[in-house]
């Protein structure tokens, strides 16, 4: 195969593939959909799960200084008073007086023209709009029963800080990690699953003593997160770590870095890493009147630890994995014929499936049985799939869903006990004995 030329997919191509192959569907599609909500199909659910597991593995499982946590989505409304969300979690909003549609002024291409109806100078004055989604608890729908769906998972960790450090017997520096749903009533959801109203966050709250090493710890997390994106295959040229200037950070934040990816529509935030000082614990201590400080047995003193937060969106990261992996590839085969394929070059740890096993013929019980047996054998430790039929179509499908390896059982397998293993990226094929297959596959992956 001659040198292949690769091009990046457009958002139209990627969203079409996401639907066709079962990655992402519009929520409630049969009723016309609902803005800002999406469902993950069979392969999308696997992909997102792999992204979350990769985050959890590096940030919790492989560390001895981070403990897991899982708090409720609905908390006491005062949590949101204390955190400042009730008063200040606002976006600016304008209405078009002609078509009545709402927009975020900072998302408008032309500040004077409505993107929906084209009217000029038809916007109202900008007003604040609180992004929290409200619901009611109990049988009365009055203000006394108001409750909110959490707009971030972090607050569950802050209000439980004392419970966590006492029960887990931890002293700063240590972290608390949580992956969970968050909800924001975004004025203009969009760019597929980039800006949602229901999404998942992976948040790491790392508490450190105020001993002058806090900025070192902050930098340590920035480096750890850089390594994570690179280890799981995100192209470095499409990723940047933007250091926030003092006037771009909240007044209490000593440092901040936004992790950004170059999406087809431009740069967008995947994660924010922030040095938040004692702001969050202080705020809850002030409103609740409860002491959340750490008690240091050795020195018999109380102190409020400083906080370093890494907050990543799991839907945005999943979308990034999909967009980053998508490649349209043109090449010429050994006979000089031009060929084109779409391939998702997922990292093997992120790919929804790792190995597909094919029987070359549907109607040959010997082949089918052999192929199914091989797939069953690999299934316990790898993400696998059995399929059968036309080999060209099978390869095309697995390329489009990003499966790194395809194993084919053919007529010769019955005689020589070997199978053909085809590599997704190079499209090269190796003939491997069945007794060597598992080891070969493991090495390749």
Binding site for ligand GAP (CB under 6 A): 152, 154, 184, 186, 195-196, 199, 201, 203, 269-272, 311-313, 315-316
- Smaller CB distance to ligand GAP: residue 152 or 324? 152
Q: How far is the CB of 276 from ligand GAP (least distance, A)?
A: 9
Q: How far is the CB of 161 from ligand GAP (least distance, A)?
A: 15
Dihedral of CA atoms 303, 304, 308, 309 in degrees, nearest 10, equals 150
- Rounded to the nearest angstrom, the gap between the alpha carbon of residue 322 and the centroid of all alpha carbons in its chain is 10
SS3 128: strand
- Smaller CB distance to ligand GAP: residue 182 or 401? 182
Q: Which two tokens stand for residue 13?
A: 């191509």
Q: Cβ neighbours of residue 225 under 8 Å, at least 6 residues apart?
A: 259, 271, 273, 310, 312
Q: How far is the CB of 51 from ligand GAP (least distance, A)?
A: 12
Q: How far is the CB of 133 from ligand GAP (least distance, A)?
A: 11
Q: How far is the CB of 304 from ligand GAP (least distance, A)?
A: 18
Element housing 413 (H / E): helix 411-416
Task: Please state, in angstroms and rounded to a whole number, the distance separating the CA atoms of residues 240 and 257.
Answer: 10
CB 440 within 8 Å of CB 421:
yes
- Rounded to the nearest angstrom, the gap between the alpha carbon of residue 51 and the centroid of all alpha carbons in its chain is 6
Q: How far is the CB of 47 from ligand GAP (least distance, A)?
A: 16
Q: How far is the CB of 189 from ligand GAP (least distance, A)?
A: 7
Give the Cα-Cα-Cα angle 233, 234, 239 (nearest 5 degrees): 155
Task: Select from 149, 198, 158, 208 the least CA-distant residue to 178.
Answer: 158
Q: How far is the CB of 309 from ligand GAP (least distance, A)?
A: 6
- Smaller CB distance to ligand GAP: residue 67 or 253? 253
Q: Which two tokens stand for residue 373?
A: 């047996």
- Smaller CB distance to ligand GAP: residue 201 or 420? 201
Q: How far is the CB of 88 from ligand GAP (least distance, A)?
A: 12
- Smaller CB distance to ligand GAP: residue 58 or 269? 269
User: How many other C-beta atoms are found inside a 10 Å radius of the C-beta of residue 168?
Assistant: 12
DSSP per-residue string spanning 332-363: E-TTS-EEEEEEE---TTTSS-SEEEEES-SS
Residue number, nearest CB to ligand GAP? 313
Q: Which two tokens stand for residue 190?
A: 């969009």
SS3 159: helix
Q: Cβ neighbours of residue 185 under 8 Å, at least 6 residues apart?
A: 129, 130, 131, 132, 133, 197
SS3 326: strand
- Smaller CB distance to ligand GAP: residue 311 or 413? 311
User: How many other C-beta atoms are found inside a 10 Å radius of the C-beta of residue 384?
Assistant: 21
- Smaller CB distance to ligand GAP: residue 184 or 225? 184
- Smaller CB distance to ligand GAP: residue 195 or 225? 195
- Smaller CB distance to ligand GAP: residue 270 or 351? 270
Task: Please state, in angstroms and rounded to a whole number, the distance separating the CA atoms of residues 293 and 306.
Answer: 11
């Amino acid at each position: 195969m001659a040198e292949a030329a690769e091009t990046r997919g457009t958002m139209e191509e990627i969203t079409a593939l996401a639907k066709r192959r079962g990655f992402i569907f519009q929520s409630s599609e049969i009723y016309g959909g609902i803005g800002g909500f999406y469902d993950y199909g069979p392969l999308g659910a696997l992909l997102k799960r792999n992204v979350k597991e990769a985050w959890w593995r590096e940030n919790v499982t492989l560390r001895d200084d981070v403990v897991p946590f899982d708090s409720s989505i609905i908390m006491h409304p005062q949590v949101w008073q204390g955190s400042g969300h009730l008063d200040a979690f606002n976006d600016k909003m304008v209405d078009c007086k002609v078509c009545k549609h709402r927009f975020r002024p900072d998302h408008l291409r032309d500040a004077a023209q409505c993107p929906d109806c084209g009217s000029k100078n038809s916007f109202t004055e900008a007003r604040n709009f609180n992004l929290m989604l409200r619901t009611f608890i109990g049988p009365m729908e009055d203000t006394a029963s108001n409750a909110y769906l959490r707009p971030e998972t972090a607050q569950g960790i802050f209000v439980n800080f004392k419970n966590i450090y006492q029960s887990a017997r931890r002293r700063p520096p240590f972290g608390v990690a949580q992956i969970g749903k968050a909800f924001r009533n975004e004025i203009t959801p969009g760019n597929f699953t980039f800006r949602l109203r229901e999404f998942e966050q992976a948040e790491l709250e790392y508490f450190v003593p105020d001993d002058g090493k806090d900025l070192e710890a902050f930098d340590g997390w920035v480096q750890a997160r850089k390594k994570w994106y690179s280890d799981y295959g995100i192209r470095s040229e499409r990723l940047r770590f933007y250091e926030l200037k003092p006037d771009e950070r909240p007044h209490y934040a000593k440092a901040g870095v936004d992790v950004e990816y170059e999406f087809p529509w431009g740069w967008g935030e995947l994660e924010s890493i922030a040095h938040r000082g004692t702001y969050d614990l202080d705020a809850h201590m002030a409103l609740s009147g409860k002491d959340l400080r750490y008690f240091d047995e050795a020195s018999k003193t109380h102190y409020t630890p400083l906080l370093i937060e890494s907050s990543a969106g799991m839907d945005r990261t999943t979308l990034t994995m999909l967009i980053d992996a998508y490649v349209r590839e043109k090449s010429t085969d050994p006979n000089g014929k031009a060929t084109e394929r779409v391939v998702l070059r997922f990292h093997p740890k992120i790919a929804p499936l790792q190995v597909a096993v094919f029987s070359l013929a549907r109607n040959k019980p010997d082949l089918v049985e052999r192929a199914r047996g091989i797939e069953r054998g690999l299934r316990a430790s790898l993400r696998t799939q059995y399929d059968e039929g036309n080999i060209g179509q099978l390869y095309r499908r697995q390329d489009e869903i990003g499966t790194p390896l395809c194993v084919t059982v053919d007529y010769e397998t019955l005689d020589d006990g070997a199978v053909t293993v085809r590599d997704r990226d190079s499209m090269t094929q190796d003939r491997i004995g069945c007794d060597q297959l598992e080891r070969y596959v493991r090495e390749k992956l």
